[in-house]
């Protein structure tokens, strides 16, 4: 039927092929369903929602690891060496024998190092982990936001089918009344059996259309059940959402927040690069055992030792790559700006197209009411002519179908307008 929104139905059928969500566990009560409740349940039931907790746990572990950088660092090491030369006292001292030190030396020790100046690096490490978690969480929001469009397509698809089924029911009632009248005329030999048969054919064709629509509705109800995690009956009562008035063209999509968080993370990473080039100061204590004595160079015996103090380190090699790393970060920021501009451009184009669609549907609806009234008048006149024998049954059925199409167009345009309004809202994120 050319008035059917085939594009919408085609997209919704496609969802059936990609819908891999677990089967629903419970059944909706018989009260009317709303779009808002379906959207809420779909978000809660979508498997991806479980990543929220995983991201939060990962953030906690990452922050703990970043904080651990300020804890005392303990190292245990050992070494065995052979030296080409050792310290010797070649000046003879009377009555004093100075032992020679072996060129083979052994040492095992433990060292404790307490960072003092790592607070700056630790600060930016923690901020970087927090920014990474914020980016991951916002990516999840972007993915979850896509559910809205899919659920809206299913919900409004069922509303479109319900509207057509309601109109078919009215048509069937009208045709049944006409058939009763024609059978009476045939019995009185005022009309022929072919006239009654023509009405029966129209009733059967309406039944066929009803069977087709009900099959589609069951498919949509099944997909909506999978999204919401609740059993949605095919004959569930769906409330037509209230009309929306466009509130401007500002874009507030999760994607825009994602771009902003990605840039913030890059800013933090740039500061972290700078922090890693700063001098580092720390306290250390080293104790162990070695042979010859690690501290007394003239003692060849096995001896314990310790040493402690302040250590200054300046990772000069960090400067080798710091400049290029910052340039890479700046390039990545520019790439994010470009991605954001492309997204806003495409979103504005889509919103403009949807706005024109709303204007078109509003124009059609403004004329539908008058067309329905006129078609009703024409059908009533045709019915009187049929009873007077001035037109054929086929002529009358033509007017019945014309009125039915006008009524169906009015209901479809109303549902399509609401769908366009919610799609427009979803596109802008308002």
**Domain extent for 193:** 6-18+32-80+101-428
Q: What is the DSSP letter of 62?
A: H
pLDDT above 70 for 18:
no
Of 140, 148, 143, the residue nearest 36 (C-alpha): 148
Helix axis angle, 119-187 relative to 319-387, nearest 10°? 10
As a whole-number percent, the residues of the chain with pLDDT over 90 amount to 37
User: Per the domain annotation, does 393 fall within a domain?
Assistant: yes
As a whole-number percent, the residues of the chain with pLDDT over 70 amount to 90
The β-bridge relationship of strands 104-115 and 280-291 is antiparallel
**Rounded Cα–Cα distance for residues 51 and 58 (Å):** 10
pLDDT above 50 for 29:
no
User: Per the domain annotation, does 93 fall within a domain?
Assistant: no
Of 223, 56, 23, 251, the residue nearest 136 (C-alpha): 56
Domains: count for the chain: 1
User: Among the listed ranges 79-93, 135-149, 295-309, which one has the minimum average pLDDT value?
Assistant: 79-93
pLDDT value for 121: 82
Residue predicted with more confidence, 59 or 279: 279
pLDDT above 90 for 267:
yes
For residue 9, name the pLDDT band (cuts at 50, 70, 90).
very low
Q: What is the mean pLDDT of residues 214-227?
A: 92
pLDDT value for 185: 79
Query: For all residues of the chain together, what is the average pLDDT?
Result: 85
Residue predicted with more confidence, 29 or 51: 51
Residue whose structure tokens are 């980016």: 135
User: Among the listed ranges 93-102, 196-205, 213-222, 337-346, which one has the minimum average pLDDT value?
Assistant: 93-102
Which of the residue ranges 46-55, 174-183, 369-378 has the most confident prediction, judged by mean pLDDT? 369-378
pLDDT value for 23: 41
User: Among the listed ranges 22-26, 181-185, 198-202, 363-367, which one has the minimum average pLDDT value?
Assistant: 22-26
The β-bridge relationship of strands 26-27 and 104-115 is unpaired
User: Per the domain annotation, does 182 fall within a domain?
Assistant: yes
User: Per the domain annotation, does 71 fall within a domain?
Assistant: yes
pLDDT value for 357: 93
pLDDT above 90 for 313:
no
Other CB atoms within 10 Å distance of the CB of residue 16 = 13
CATH number at residue 128: 1.20.1600.10
User: Per the domain annotation, does 113 fall within a domain?
Assistant: yes
Phi, then psi, of 149 in degrees rounded to 5: -65, -40
pLDDT value for 89: 65
């Amino acid at each position: 039927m050319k008035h059917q929104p085939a594009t919408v139905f085609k997209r919704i059928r496609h969802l059936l092929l990609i819908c891999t969500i677990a089967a629903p566990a419970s059944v909706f009560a018989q009260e009317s369903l709303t779009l808002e409740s379906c959207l809420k349940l779909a978000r809660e039931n979508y498997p991806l929602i479980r990543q929220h907790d995983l991201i939060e746990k990962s953030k906690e572990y990452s922050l703990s690891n970043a904080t651990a950088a300020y804890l005392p660092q303990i190292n245990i090491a050992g070494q065995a060496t052979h030296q080409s030369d050792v310290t010797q006292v070649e000046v003879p001292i009377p009555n004093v024998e100075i032992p020679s030190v072996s060129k083979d030396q052994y040492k095992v020790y433990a060292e404790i190092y307490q960072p003092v100046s790592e607070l700056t690096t630790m600060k930016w490490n923690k901020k970087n982990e927090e920014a990474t978690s914020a980016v991951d969480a916002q990516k999840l929001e972007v993915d979850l936001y896509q559910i809205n469009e899919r659920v809206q397509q299913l919900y409004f698809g069922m509303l479109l089918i319900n509207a057509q089924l309601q109109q078919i029911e009215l048509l069937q009632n009208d045709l049944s009344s006409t058939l009763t009248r024609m059978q009476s005329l045939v019995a009185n030999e005022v009309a022929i059996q072919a006239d009654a048969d023509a009405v029966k054919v129209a009733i059967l064709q309406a039944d066929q259309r009803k069977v087709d629509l009900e099959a589609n509705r069951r498919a949509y109800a099944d997909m909506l059940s999978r999204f919401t995690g609740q059993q949605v009956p095919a004959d569930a009562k769906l409330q037509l959402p209230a009309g929306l008035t466009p509130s401007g063209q500002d874009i507030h999509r999760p994607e825009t927040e994602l771009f902003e968080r990605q840039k913030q993370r890059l800013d933090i990473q740039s500061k972290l690069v700078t922090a890693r080039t700063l001098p580092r100061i720390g306290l250390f204590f080293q104790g162990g055992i070695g042979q010859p004595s690690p501290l007394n160079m003239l003692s060849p015996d096995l001896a314990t030792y310790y040493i402690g103090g302040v250590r200054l380190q300046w990772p000069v090699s960090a400067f080798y790559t710091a400049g290029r790393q910052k340039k890479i970060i700046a390039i990545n920021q520019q790439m994010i700006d470009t991605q954001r501009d492309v997204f806003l451009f495409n979103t504005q184009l889509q919103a403009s197209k949807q706005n024109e669609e709303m204007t078109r549907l509003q124009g059609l609806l403004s004329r539908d009411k008058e067309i329905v009234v006129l078609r009703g008048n024409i059908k009533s006149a045709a019915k009187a002519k049929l009873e007077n024998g001035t037109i054929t049954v086929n002529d009358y059925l033509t007017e019945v179908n014309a009125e039915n199409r006008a009524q169906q167009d009015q209901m479809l345009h109303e549902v399509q307008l609401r769908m366009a309004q919610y799609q427009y809202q979803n596109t802008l994120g308002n």
